[in-house]
Structure 1
């Protein structure tokens, strides 16, 4: 019998076999929550839409960072790449 250590992300209950991946995913969810909160505080926006936008920004933070540094065309590629749908996690939820 083998034992596999697992890490659970408290924010959504996702399970990971890699601690680093779990921590990275948790940081992504925290960023998404903060963006969601900002949107809800600053605009009259539906809570679900604000959460969806927050997750999109958080999942694509590298593309947004590069776009803000002078490569604005990268924003247009967000919906077209598999990176937009892939969080890079090994969730076994």
Structure 2
């Protein structure tokens, strides 16, 4: 039986095979939560789910958003290399999660 080290994000339970990716994911989720809080305080009538989705979108696209804020607004209109996952797709965390399975 092999022992595999994994890092688990306590915010959403996502598991990663290295600490750097886990910390990056956790920071992104913290930013998303703070953006969501900001939006919910300033936009009346927005559902909680929609606020969370917007927060995650902006947090995941933070580099492009920063570029746009620094004078390149067209950066927001450029095609994504990979589409941003919606809330209902977030549970899979494809590509960054170490699959855990028993060796049979």
Q: TM-score range by the shorter chain?
A: 0.7 to 0.9
Listed as ranges, the gaps of 5+ residues in structure 1 are none
* TM-score, scaled to structure 2: 0.78
**CA deviation after TM superposition for structure 1 residue 82, in Å:** 2.9
Contact kept, 8 Å, 1:16 with 1:89, in 2: the verdict is no
Tell me the C-alpha RMSD between the 2 structures: 2.1
Q: Report the Cα distance in structure 1 between the residues aligned to 2:97 and 2:58, rounded to whole angstroms.
A: 20
* TM-score, scaled to structure 1: 0.87
- Give secondary structure in 2 for the equivalent of 1:82: coil
**CA deviation after TM superposition for structure 1 residue 91, in Å:** 2.1
**CA deviation after TM superposition for structure 1 residue 84, in Å:** 4.2
Q: Report the Cα distance in structure 2 between the residues aligned to 1:88 and 1:28, rounded to whole angstroms.
A: 16
**CA deviation after TM superposition for structure 1 residue 2, in Å:** 2.5
Q: Report the Cα distance in structure 2 between the residues aligned to 1:19 and 1:38, rounded to whole angstroms.
A: 29
Q: Give the helix-richer structure, 1 or 2.
A: 1
Listed as ranges, the gaps of 5+ residues in structure 2 are 86-92, 100-104
Q: Which residue of 2 aligns with 1:71?
A: 72
Contact kept, 8 Å, 2:65 with 2:76, in 1: the verdict is yes
**CA deviation after TM superposition for structure 1 residue 83, in Å:** 3.8
Q: Which residue of 1 aligns with 2:59?
A: 58
Contact kept, 8 Å, 2:6 with 2:98, in 1: the verdict is no
Distance verdict in 2 for CA 1:88–1:25, change over 3 Å: farther
**CA deviation after TM superposition for structure 1 residue 43, in Å:** 1.2
